[in-house]
Chains A and B, each alone.
Chain A
Amino acid sequence: MVSGVRQPVLDSLAAVVLAAGLALVLVVAAGRVESARVGAAESEARMAAALWELVGGGADAVAGLLGERATITGADAGGAGSGPGAYGYEAGALEPAVWIAVAPPPAGGPRGALPVTAIAIALAGLTVVTGWVLARRRGPTRIRYPAGIALLSGGCIGLTAVAGGRWAGDELGSLSAATVAQGARAVELALATGADPAGAARFAQLPWAQDLSLDSLTEQWTMPAAVAAAIADSPARDVEGSPLTVEADGATWHVAGAADVHIAFLGYERTSSPTLALAAAAGLAGLLVALVLHLGQLASRPRALGRTLAAWGLLAPAAAFILAFTLGPLLFSLWISLHEWRLIDPAPLFLGFDNYAALLRDREWWSAIGNTALFTLHVPAAMAVALALALLTRGSRRTLRWARLALFLPGITSVAAIAVVWKWLLSDQYGLLNRGLERAGVGSVPWLTSPDTALASLMIIGIWMVVGYQMVVFQAGLAAIPRDWYDAARVDGAGPWQRFRHITLPGLRHTLFFVLVTSIIGSFQVFGLVYVMTEGGPLGATDVAVYHIYREAWEFLQFGNAAAMSWLLFAVVFAATWLHFRFLDARRAHG
Chain B
Amino acid sequence: MSPGEVGLRTAGQGVVLRGVEKRFGDVVAVQPMDLEVRPGELMVLVGPSGCGKSTLLRLIAGLETPTSGEVWIGERRVDEVEPGARDVAMVFQSYALYPHMTVARNLGFGLRVRGTPRPELERRVAETAAALELGDLLERKPGQLSGGQRQRVALGRAMVRDPGVFLFDEPLSNLDAELRLRTRDEIAALHRRLGTTMVFVTHDQVEALSLGQRVAVMDRGRLQQVGTPDEIYRRPHNLFVAGFVGSPPINRMPLSRDGGGRLAGGPFALAGPPGPDRATLAVRPEDIAVAGPGEADGDASGGEADSSAVWGSGDGSGSIRAGDFRSTVLRVEMLGSEQLVHLDGPGDAAWVARASPALRVAPGDRVSVSVAWERSHLFGADGRREEGVPRPAGRQVS
**Residues in A lying within 8 Å of B, measured CB to CB:** 482, 484-485, 487-495, 498, 502-503, 506-507, 509, 591
When the two chains form their complex, are residues B96 and A484 in contact, meaning their CB atoms are under 8 A apart? yes
Known: A495-B113, A591-B141. A490 touches B83 (CB 8 A): yes
Q: Which chain B residues border A507 with CB–CB below 8 Å?
A: 100
C-alpha spacing A503/B68, complex, angstroms: 31
- Cβ-defined contact, A493 with B92, below 8 A: no
Residues of A with C-beta under 8 A to B167: 491
Contacts A488-B92, A493-B110, A493-B114; is A503 near B98 (CB within 8 Å)? yes
User: Contact between A484 and B94 (Cβ–Cβ < 8 Å)?
Assistant: yes
B59-92 interface with A by 8 A CB criterion? 61-63, 82-85, 88-90, 92
Residue B379 at the chain A interface, CB threshold 8 Å: no
Asked if A494 and B113 sit within 8 Å, CB to CB, the answer is yes
Shortest Cβ distance from residue A531 to the other chain B in the assembled complex, whole angstroms: 43
Contacts of B102 in A (CB 8 A): 591
Tell me, in angstroms, the Cα distance from A296 to B110 when the chains sit together: 64
Knowing that A491-B167, A494-B109 touch, tell me 18 more A-B residue pairs with CB under 8 angstroms: A484-B94, A487-B90, A487-B92, A488-B90, A488-B96, A489-B109, A489-B113, A490-B82, A490-B83, A491-B62, A491-B89, A492-B113, A493-B83, A493-B85, A494-B113, A502-B109, A506-B98, A591-B102
In the complex, the number of residue pairs spanning A and B with C-beta atoms less than 8 Å apart equals 72
Contact in complex: B61, A491 (CB < 8 Å): yes
Rounded to whole angstroms, the CA-CA distance of A485 and B101 in the bound complex is: 12
A490 and B113 contact, Cβ closer than 8 Å, known pairs A485-B98, A591-B141: no
> Given A484-B92, A591-B141, does the pair A490, B63 have CB atoms closer than 8 Å?
yes
Q: 7 A-B pairs, CB-CB below 8 angstroms?
A: A488-B96, A488-B98, A490-B84, A492-B157, A493-B83, A493-B85, A493-B113
**How would residues 131 to 151 of chain B score, 1 for a CB under 8 Å from any chain A CB and 0 otherwise?**
000000000010000000000
Contact assessment for A491 and B88 in the assembled complex, using a CB-CB cutoff below 8 Å: yes
Distance between B344 CB and nearest chain A CB, rounded to angstroms: 48
Q: How far is the CA of A495 from the CA of B109 in the complex (A)?
A: 12
Question: Which 7 pairs, one residue from A and one from B, show the smallest C-beta to C-beta distance?
Answer: A493-B84, A492-B110, A484-B96, A488-B96, A506-B100, A490-B83, A494-B113
Query: Given that A492-B84, A494-B84, A591-B141 are contacting pairs, would A487 and B96 also be in contact in the complex, using a CB cutoff of 8 Å?
Result: yes
What distance in Å separates the Cβ of B71 from its nearest Cβ neighbour in chain A?
15
A320 to B161, CA, bound (A): 62
The closest CB in chain B to the CB of A494 belongs to B113
Contact residues of B between 335 and 354, Cβ < 8 Å to A = none
Return chain A residues, CB-CB under 8 Å to B62: 490-491
Contacts of B83 in A (CB 8 A): 487, 490-491, 493
C-alpha spacing A503/B84, complex, angstroms:
16
Q: Which residues of A contact B58 (CB under 8 A)?
A: 487
CA distance A136 to B101 in the complex (A): 63
List residues of chain B with CB under 8 Å of any chain A CB: 58, 61-63, 82-85, 88-90, 92-94, 96-102, 109-110, 113-114, 141, 157, 161, 167
State the CA gap A591–B114 with chains docked (Å).
Answer: 22
Main DSSP-derived SS at the A contact region: helix
Residues A502 and B98 in contact, CB atoms below 8 Å apart? yes
Which residue of chain B is the closest to A490 with respect to CB atoms?
Answer: B83
Interface SS, B side: loop
Enumerate chain A residues within 8 angstroms of B109, measured Cβ to Cβ.
Answer: 489, 492, 494, 502
Q: In the assembled complex, how far is the CB of residue A245 from the closest CB belonging to chain B, in whole angstroms?
A: 71
Q: How far does the alpha carbon of A494 sit from the alpha carbon of B112 in the complex, in Å? A: 9
CA distance A485 to B61 in the complex (A): 14
**Which residues of A are found within 8 Å of B63, using beta-carbon distances?**
487, 490-491
B94 to chain A, nearest CB (A): 5
Q: A509's closest neighbor in chain B, by CB?
A: B100
Residue among A488, A493, A498, A506 having the largest count of chain B Cβ atoms under 10 Å: A488
Task: Give the residues in chain B near A495, CB-CB below 8 Å.
Answer: 84, 113
Q: Which residue of B lies closest to A587 (CB)?
A: B100
How far is the CB of A121 from the nearest CB of chain B, in Å?
Answer: 61
CA distance A487 to B98 in the complex (A): 11
Q: CB distance A482 to B98 under 8 Å? A: no
Contact B110 A485 (CB under 8 A): no
Minimum distance in angstroms from A493 CB to a CB of chain B: 3
- C-alpha spacing A492/B82, complex, angstroms: 10
Complex: A498 Cα to B92 Cα, angstroms: 20
Q: How far is the CA of A185 from the CA of B157 in the complex (A)?
A: 99
Complex Cα distance, B99 from A509, in Å, reads 12
Nearest A residue to B139, CB-CB = A591
A501 and chain B: residue at smallest CB distance: B113
Shortest distance in angstroms between B50's beta carbon and chain A's nearest beta carbon?
18
A491→B98 CA distance, assembly (Å): 13
Q: In the bound complex, what is the Cα–Cα distance between A522 and B97 (angstroms)? A: 36
In the assembled complex, which residues on chain B have CB atoms less than 8 Å from the CB atom of A482? 94, 96
Distance in Å from the Cβ of B272 to the closest Cβ of chain A? 49
Q: How far is the CA of A108 from the CA of B170 in the complex (A)?
A: 92
The answer for the CA separation of A495 and B110 in the assembled complex, in Å, is 11
State the Cβ distance, B158 to closest chain A Cβ, in Å: 9
A487, A489, A490, A492, most chain B CB atoms within 10 A: A492
- Whether A498 lies near B96 (C-beta < 8 A) is no
Q: What is the CB-to-nearest-CB distance from A499 to chain B, in angstroms, rounded to a whole number?
A: 9
A491-B141 contact in complex given A484-B92, A509-B100, A591-B102, C-beta closer than 8 Å: no
A587, chain B: closest CB distance, angstroms: 10
**Distance to closest chain A CB from B161 (angstroms):** 8
Shortest CB-to-CB span from A89 to chain B, Å, is: 75
Known: A503-B98, A591-B102, A591-B141. A491 touches B90 (CB 8 A): yes
Contacts of B85 in A (CB 8 A): 493
B84 to chain A, nearest CB (A): 3
In the complex, which of the residues B94, B97, B114, B157 has the most CB atoms of chain A within 10 Å of its own CB atom? Answer: B94
Write out the residue numbers on chain B whose beta carbons fall within 8 Å of the beta carbon of A493. 82-85, 110, 113-114
Separation in Å of the A517 CB from the closest CB of chain B? Answer: 19
For B97, list chain A residues within 8 Å (CB): 488
A490 to B86, CA, bound (A): 11
B residues within 8 A CB of A498? 113
B161's closest neighbor in chain A, by CB? A492
From residue B165, how far is it (CB to closest CB) to chain A in Å? 11
- Given the complex, which residues of B lie within 8 Å of A492, measured CB to CB? 84, 109-110, 113, 157, 161
A-chain residues with CB within 8 Å of residue B101 when the two chains form the complex: 502, 591
Closest A residue to B113 by CB, please name it.
A494
Cα-based distance from A506 to B100 in the complex (angstroms): 7
Contacts of A484 in B (CB 8 A): 92-94, 96
A478: shortest Cβ distance to chain B, in Å? Answer: 15
CB distance from A12 to the nearest CB of B (A): 54
